[in-house]
Structure 1
Amino acid sequence: MRLFGYARVSTSQQSLDLQVKALKNEGVRANRIFTDKISGSHLDREGLQMLRLKVEEGDVILVKKLDRLGRDTADMIQLVKEFDEMGVAIRFLDDGISTEGSMGKMVVTILSAVAQAERQRILERTNEGRLEAKAKGIKFGRKPFVDKEKVRSLRGQGIGATDIARQLNIGRSTVYKILESNQSSRISPVVENAMNS
């Protein structure tokens, strides 16, 4: 069994010293301590990636606190499960939690159930919010394609911006933007004459 350590702070201004010292006091060698100075919401952390590559079955990772492994509960639990599947245990020093042994398996199972319940709650809240927004008339999905040539054609027929907007089911400001871009893309006759001479 080899001991590894992981320490993380959220910003580059914060210090890792206390966490690293605690890991060394538990017997982790300096070259087996991996660190990150980045938000826990990112799973593509350099130190964490290196730790994933170095650990093998039977190893134990020490982390000072649960929230140092990951800020988001679901992501943190996903990491715990990933290491558990590799046969690697994790001990959270300050929290007194370990994924070692039969009690550890129970901890992983409970954490997995918590993560699943959290994902389910997020889905339910998202769906409730979507239904409420639909009831208020908010539309979802991509914005409809605006046929710029159709706008210019209707304008060329003498139809006003308000009527064009109504016919094409777009905003008047969109009509004006299309017409203005058409105007600015044309070269004035004076400039064209100067270029030809």
Structure 2
Amino acid sequence: MLEYRQRMPRPTHDTSTILDAAGRILGAEGLAKVTMAAVIREAGVPSGSLYYRFPDRPALLAALWNRAIESYHRDAYPLFEGDPVEAAAALAAYTVRWCEAEPAHAHVLLAGRSRFDADAWPDAARQAEAAESVRWNQSIRGLTRRLRAETSVPITEILLVVVDLPYGAVRRYLGGDTPIPADLAEVVAGIVRTSLR
């Protein structure tokens, strides 16, 4: 007589698990260490699960970059509305808070797109990234124009305080694996307001 054994559920290895592992490696060891073999080890997934989703490293890096960008941009777009100086301050504070809440994603953005081998990405990933870049850059340019019209602050200075300052403020903490101070978002927002008034 045949015995019927209850089948154990197969473990699921979803895309998020894999990309989370890649993000942890990047944050701890740098982008060069994000290899297919390292991600398999870190995620604890069979190689087939990884290669089924990402046929090669460029495809993995593309997904890692695009996911981080989507995470950052999703809640940032509404902040561009209203008074331009307050919008700039809100965006700066949001950037700091987002980096604190999403350190793995923040490490991806701080590494910079140029290091992600974008020329080798799959076409769909490149097109998605390009479309999102256009949308984001239009939003930044629109805010910059509004700030320039209202404050007469030079564009170079606007970009420095609105775009570069928040990343510079968090880089020292994320790079040193040190907690971001609780008041850093408000400090950065205050500097933005002072610089643009």
TM range (shorter): under 0.3
Higher relative contact order (CA 8 A, sep 6+): 2
TM-score normalized with structure 2 length: 0.27
TM-score normalized with structure 1 length: 0.27
Q: Which has the higher helix share?
A: 2
Greater C-alpha radius of gyration? 1
Q: Which has the higher strand share?
A: 1
